Structure 1
Amino acid sequence: MMRSIRKAAVIGSGVMGSGIAAHLANAGIPCLLLDIVPKQPTDEETAKGLTLEHAAVRSRLAAQAVEKLRKTKPSPLYDDAFADRITPGNLDDHLALIADVDWVIEVVVENLEVKQRLLSRVEAHWKPGTVVSSNTSGISIEAMSADCSESFRRHFLGTHFFNPPRYMKLLELIPGELTEPDIVSGMREFCEKRLGKGVVLAKDTPNFIANRIGTYGLLVTLQEMLDKGFAVEEVDAVTGPAMGRPKSATFRTLDLVGIDTFVHVANNVYESTQDEAEKAVFAVPAALRGMVEKGWLGEKSGQGFYLKQKGPNGSEILSLNVAAMEYEPQKKPSSASLEAVKLAKGAKEKTKALIGAGDRYSELAWNILKKVLVYSAEKLGEIADTVREIDEAMKWGFNWELGPFETWDAIGLPKSVQRMEAEGTAVPAWVKDWVAAGHTSFYRKQEGATFYVSRGEYKQLETPAEEISLKRLKEHNKVVKSNSGASLIDLGDGVACLEFHSPNNAIGADILVMIQQSLEEVRRNYDGLVIANQGRNFCVGANIMILLMEAQDEEWDEIDGIIRLFQNTMYKVKRFEKPVVAAPHRMTLGGGVEACMPADRIVAAAETYFGLVEAGVGLIPAGGGCKELALRTSQRVTHPDADMQPYINQAFETIGMAKVSTSGHDALKLGLFKPTDRIVVNQEHLIYEAKRSVLGLARGGYEPIREEKIRVVGAEGKAVLQLGAYGMKQGGYISDHDLKIANKLAHVLAGGDVPAGSLVTEQYMLDLEREAFLSLCGEPKTQARMQHMLAKGKALRN
């Protein structure tokens, strides 16, 4: 059973401790945040007459940490108001309060003796049954709890969150020898469902799984660079997206982590391992030690492997010549292998293209990759029992697209083992035996099921009911209809799912046609519809390339037809006689927002960045976005004499400034979600929850949304909006073209030049949207913005 955690306590209010407390608060869990009592008051506290006996002074460290959470960007909180769920305190005065919590998390300095002393104090106030965990990145769980009682140790385990806790999916659970299995399974389920984590079970070994493999990989990469004379930027060109890894690759990652932090993690394995070959790899190179001595620690010190400085042509980023310990202008790496990678699609094909091209960069990639693959295989059974736990740890903790064993499968297991042995690389015996037994991969699919290696044999992957995979459903022939832009997929239980799969999930005519066809299919054969996909982002908006081409050719009737198709399609979704639930995640922009707004309900991932951003390309929303916000204002202010202006001002500001929510909760504050919409923390459960919502609506006597008139602020309200925009122009905050866009937007949101309080139809508002959109498409500066967005991926302010 899932563990019931109603209240928690975090001990240690540093970056990691406060971040964990923030994420507990995100999940709706009240939390104590405790730290030590300061040794003395600050000068400011003394000036106020405060002494060390004053409560504000004694709990200052935790209180400051909570306030910092509200200001940190990117925010550790879904909503700044959630900081109120965290109660700051100190260890001397408030430790006894842990008797009232369900989970105590220790997040103090990475020092065994400090942790042991703290656990002794915790046990003195511990209530039997309460879970206690240590957020350590590598200290032994057994060692730190060795002096605790057997009962305490049965409820104790490691919970290694990755930083920052809100954004990093990986959580390593590390049971001790006496940890009760029910505690492990209950906490695993809680952390997956309530905290949205990807949980792997790690063994109590130095640095556990992800840091063990990741640190090894970074060290062998550094050594390969030093041995073969590669430049920092060359290595990063090879070990980034070309190899299915993040853009930060190797050395930008080290700069982000902090060179001193990385050295500490490497030393942890060096001091713990008895294997001399492994010890040699984890011995920190002199170059890294030198960087720490110089204070070149990466981002936090302003320089590391890279240094940003101002040059004659603006800012430039220099790279470190590690051999000379001097910064130099970067070279632009180029080779046949890197060109081959550009032509390949997906991490599997890119990796194969990279190592198969036969040039010096291919050799660099292969020499790094084979060592990481062999090391991962050597550690199977020591750090984790299954290849899947190692793979998931690297994907969730280091943002690799493929884990080590998935990579091995991708490049060809038998072939690569043969090459390794031919080159004198010692391949673990179990891998050779596995291949000799006729196996060609560590994963296999059979009769629709996935199997992976665990303890020397294949084990079937058991997928929780909450994790609906559209890819798996398509493999099981559940596609009902499909075209180039979208597919309708049978989710079972009378619910269908409309999936976007165009490039970047941008909305074009193909998606709009499939939406209309899907409505017809659902009308005949289903109880309701989910609009969702499992791409990197839900939808980046409409296909502006087509709009730009038509505008440049002055094909105004074509553009008018496209917008009418969009508007009519969204209108049909809104008036559909069966429930429709939209399930957006991550970037959901422009037309993507307008595809969600007509739904009966939005069930969104917590990490949803939702915004009507058309002003950034010189336009206004014309797929119903303006109409929907005006309608919500009308519904919100029901009394005829009530002032609607403040609410329409908010909508004007949200659209005009192209605001994008920082989370699903923030979208609610911006008025882009309705109070009835839901937020789901674990994105893997999103489609399941959306399906449940459809079924709930269908079984509850669903009635379609009826059309209603919209009360608008009219000409008077329009003047207020335009006056505000003019003031911003006079103050130098917006350009002439921004002002033109703002005036068009004001005209639409206000309902045109009708008297204040007039009631208008939804179609009237849609006509205003379309007219303004067409007018702006003809503006040269709007076309320049569209062109710039397509070329550069960011807005042009002209």
Structure 2
Amino acid sequence: MNLSIRKAAVIGSGIMGSQIAAHLAGVGIKTLLLDIVPKTLTEEEAGRGLTLADPAVRNRLAASAIKRLTKIKPAPLYDEAFAERITPGNLEDHLASLGEVDWVIEVVVENLEVKKNLLKQIEQHRKPGTIVSSNTSGISINAMAADCGEEFKKHFLGTHFFNPPRYMKLLEIIPGEKTDSELVRAMKAFCEKVLGKGVVLAKDTPNFIANRIGTYGLLVTLQEMQKNGGYTVEEVDAVTGPAMGRPKSATFRTLDLVGLDTFVHVADNVFQNVTDEQEKAVFDTPDVLKKMTELKWLGEKTGRGFYLKQKGEKGSEILSLNLATMEYVPQQKPKGASLEAAKAAKGTKEKLKTLLSGKDRYSELAWNILKPVLIYSAEKVGEISDSIQEIDEAMRWGFSWDLGPFETWDAIGLARSVERMEAEGLAVPEWVKDWIASGQTSFYKSDEGQLYSIHIGSQQYKQVEQAPEVISLRRLKEQNKVIKGNSGASLIDLGEGVACLEFHSPNNAIGEDILSMLQQSVEEVRKNYLGMVIANQGKNFCVGANIMLLLMEAQDEEWDEIDDIIHMFQSTMYKVKRLEKPVVAAPHRMCLGGGVEACMPADQVIASAETYYGLVEVGVGLIPAGGGCKEFALRASQSLLNAEADLQPYLNQVFETVGMAKVSSSGYDAKRLGYLRSSDRVVANQDHSIYEAKQAVLGLARNGYEPIPEEKIRVAGREGKAILQLGAIGMRQGGYISDHDLLIAKKLAHVLAGGDVPAGTLVTEQYMLDLEREAFLSLCGEPKTQARMQHMLTKGKALRN
């Protein structure tokens, strides 16, 4: 079954409903957003003479929700223009429109009877075969559809999006007893490919997978803290954050972000629906949470929760809640040997082992809150999910853990940790003990690049299935597919005649090692491959060039060295562009400065939807000099339909984008800003981007690829430069930029316009590269530029001097 969902309806325009609609619209699905009809007029509506019968009033809730989408931060829309793909409506006038859609998503209040009544209405208006799903966080799918017909039940399932839907990778799909198994498979594939989600199949149990395990973990943390006493809110967060491979929000900042009322509701859903008394006791809402909800100390939504931000004598400060006195007090930074050692350790596995092997109170706290979560996760295999892999994925994708429970168990040593648990009187599930008794030492193993995990039923390893669209560079390297490499990059064989150039330097910053490997890769691909992909699977694609190296050379006044570095960067990108084989770049997340310049020579860019793309060199007092200015000037020239056409409007836009160091808020926004071309593509699922780039290379090769010929660039010259600089001078006179900003802007204008030549002059690409390099070198000698570079390295943000 191959699904084609072109139109959807979302019922419920609250925070989740409207943002699910935004995500659907973001991937090109036209969406109808419905809500109830208001019972009263607003003052504004009454002032306009409207009545309750007017469509503007009747559709108000949905229409207002769509307007809010453009104001919410972080932005739920990839591009504000995508809001036009959402049509507002109401549940009285537009239910008949459900017969025109392919998918209906119910996102109303978490109340079983309300949902059951709504599903009966949907059943009356949908056409046979229409998919219907509920975005519930824990209510039974089977109970919801109990009163509906067999055909409806066959096409009904749970689709639990995590908040915010655009950014949270996890989507739990929960089939009902009667849901068509082929539909489940098709929906999983559709949601992975089109919506870009990480999908896990959950069983119809209270809170499904991620919220079941995650809520349990948060509650046992709070109970351990209160049981042993003496731990502050900030101490618990110091232990349960990055030191344990968890997000910086850790425990209590997470609760504040989620909202304590929401958390209590989720926890209570398990409490009300499980029968095991021990489990029930854990999910019984602690008194401190009850008191805080009564006081409306619900977290960020009410301005105070476990933390309170207030203005003091020294500016804003964040206070933490003393749970014993229920008063807010200044935070005390936790200090302990195990915390410091874990912070210094490299990688999540080493951090965990280091933290747990300590002998202080923080190490003890970490062990006491980790061990029940591991045991609980093992107890729930078979009940909430059939595989440990889906539990691990749910926690990584839904709660942003670096490692899921079973991956964590492997990391800290399965047999050793179980022995310690039993010595402390804990009951470990029999299947775990049987697995260890059979001689196994981990739940997962890797063999020749293939990943295997325990299959509970057979007590055997079973290969972990991976969609063909998911290419793992790490596993390819385990299969000895590295063609060549050095400390900064590797060329990896993707199969079918395509090679992938992977960056793996610190932060994927571009230095001499990456440039050298790029040059070697061009020669290797020219001789032996059909084409090349430039991609990696680091946290970010590339944060730019190696600023530390540049600053050191500038401070030592090694101008020839800097000139050589920039010349090497430029010549490398020029070789990539002139390669006689197709090159496709696949950036993801942060792709800044030199990272963008590494993508610009490619025949095509296939960007992840979450790509934050920008030439940001002015932030460190420089201008793009790895071919970025040249490529924009070339695009401007190519955009002209005839020699008399005006370059200036295009250049003005580029000058503003680069001069203000604008960074896209998404891959789609990178197109709006002009960083990506019309021929470049955006893919929703970052895990699929290398596969899509490989397919693009093969497609170009099959269609008789011809290398890009060098062409002359028509430039705006001194007249265009004067217009650009005049705009910058106006910004300075208005107080919007500093004198140093103006200096940088003038040099940027000089390069983009092609220097002091007559308007319309045809120049070579090398001429433009020389202009870039000269401007870059002169700025490197400026003390204020060096101060900007130093500030970025030490503070991680731009200095405006």
Q: Which amino acid aligns with 1:733?
A: Y
Counterparts of 2:252 and 2:633, CA distance in 1: 49
Deviations 1:552-580 (A, max 9, x none): 00000000000000000001111111111
Aligned to 1:773: 776
1:763 to 763, 766, 769: 766
Helix, strand or coil at the partner of 1:93: coil
Counterparts of 2:379 and 2:338, CA distance in 1: 29
Aligned to 2:608: 605
Helix, strand or coil at the partner of 1:71: coil
Q: Which amino acid aligns with 2:747?
A: K
In the alignment, is residue 16 of structure 1 matched against residue 16 of structure 2?
Answer: yes
Counterparts of 2:528 and 2:779, CA distance in 1: 42
Counterparts of 2:251 and 2:49, CA distance in 1: 51
Counterparts of 1:465 and 1:674, CA distance in 2: 28
* Contact 1:197–1:682 (CA under 8 A) maintained in structure 2: yes
Helix, strand or coil at the partner of 1:574: helix
Q: Which amino acid aligns with 2:368?
A: N
* Contact 2:9–2:31 (CA under 8 A) maintained in structure 1: yes
Counterparts of 2:790 and 2:419, CA distance in 1: 50
Aligned to 2:314: 313
* Contact 1:70–1:77 (CA under 8 A) maintained in structure 2: yes
Aligned to 2:737: 734
Aligned to 1:355: 356
- The RMSD of aligned alpha carbons is 1.0
Gaps (5+ residues) in structure 1? none
The CA deviation at 1:300 is 1.2
Aligned to 1:543: 546
* Contact 1:140–1:205 (CA under 8 A) maintained in structure 2: yes
Helix, strand or coil at the partner of 1:465: coil
Aligned to 1:714: 717
Aligned to 1:190: 190
In the alignment, is residue 380 of structure 1 matched against residue 390 of structure 2?
Answer: no
Counterparts of 1:485 and 1:444, CA distance in 2: 28
In the alignment, is residue 466 of structure 1 matched against residue 466 of structure 2?
Answer: no
**Which 10-residue stretch deviates more, 551-560 or 330-339?**
330-339
**Which 10-residue stretch deviates more, 334-343 or 529-538?**
334-343
In the alignment, is residue 123 of structure 1 matched against residue 123 of structure 2?
Answer: yes
In the alignment, is residue 645 of structure 1 matched against residue 652 of structure 2?
Answer: no
In the alignment, is residue 752 of structure 1 matched against residue 755 of structure 2?
Answer: yes
Between the two proteins, the alignment pairs up a number of residues equal to: 798
Mapping for residues 60-459 of structure 1, pairs under 5 Å: 60-228=60-228, 229-456=230-457, 457=459, 458-459=461-462
Q: Which amino acid aligns with 2:513?
A: D
In the alignment, is residue 679 of structure 1 matched against residue 659 of structure 2?
Answer: no
Helix, strand or coil at the partner of 2:70: helix
Counterparts of 2:632 and 2:305, CA distance in 1: 47
Helix, strand or coil at the partner of 2:675: coil
Helix, strand or coil at the partner of 2:92: helix
The CA deviation at 1:454 is 3.0
Aligned to 1:582: 585
The CA deviation at 1:446 is 3.2
Aligned to 2:534: 531
**Which 10-residue stretch deviates more, 557-566 or 125-134?**
125-134
Helix, strand or coil at the partner of 2:205: coil
In the alignment, is residue 794 of structure 1 matched against residue 758 of structure 2?
Answer: no
Q: Which amino acid aligns with 2:632?
A: L
Counterparts of 1:74 and 1:448, CA distance in 2: 37
* Contact 1:487–1:514 (CA under 8 A) maintained in structure 2: yes
Helix, strand or coil at the partner of 2:231: coil
Counterparts of 1:334 and 1:699, CA distance in 2: 61
Counterparts of 1:552 and 1:306, CA distance in 2: 44
* Contact 1:226–1:323 (CA under 8 A) maintained in structure 2: no
The CA deviation at 1:442 is 1.1
Per the normalisation by structure 2, the TM-score is: 0.99
Mapping for residues 452-531 of structure 1, pairs under 5 Å: 452-456=453-457, 457=459, 458-531=461-534
Counterparts of 1:591 and 1:741, CA distance in 2: 18
Counterparts of 1:254 and 1:481, CA distance in 2: 47
Q: Which amino acid aligns with 2:374?
A: L
The CA deviation at 1:447 is 4.3
Counterparts of 1:338 and 1:214, CA distance in 2: 23
The CA deviation at 1:548 is 0.3
**Which 10-residue stretch deviates more, 310-319 or 188-197?**
310-319
Counterparts of 2:254 and 2:799, CA distance in 1: 29
**Which 10-residue stretch deviates more, 726-735 or 559-568?**
726-735
Counterparts of 1:516 and 1:645, CA distance in 2: 35
Counterparts of 1:232 and 1:779, CA distance in 2: 47
Counterparts of 2:314 and 2:176, CA distance in 1: 57
**Which 10-residue stretch deviates more, 726-735 or 155-164?**
726-735
Q: Which amino acid aligns with 1:223?
A: Q
* Contact 2:449–2:477 (CA under 8 A) maintained in structure 1: no
Helix, strand or coil at the partner of 1:157: strand
**Which 10-residue stretch deviates more, 169-178 or 302-311?**
302-311
Counterparts of 1:455 and 1:123, CA distance in 2: 39
* Contact 1:2–1:185 (CA under 8 A) maintained in structure 2: no
Mapping for residues 551-630 of structure 1, pairs under 5 Å: 551-630=554-633
Counterparts of 1:485 and 1:245, CA distance in 2: 28
* Contact 2:448–2:479 (CA under 8 A) maintained in structure 1: no
Aligned to 2:32: 32
Counterparts of 1:540 and 1:244, CA distance in 2: 23
Q: Which amino acid aligns with 1:722?
A: Q
- Residues 447 and 618 (structure 1 numbering): CA distance in 2 closer, same or farther, change over 3 Å? closer
Q: Which amino acid aligns with 1:112?
A: L
Counterparts of 1:315 and 1:719, CA distance in 2: 44
Per the normalisation by structure 1, the TM-score is: 0.99
The CA deviation at 1:72 is 1.8
Q: Which amino acid aligns with 1:411?
A: I
Gaps (5+ residues) in structure 2? none
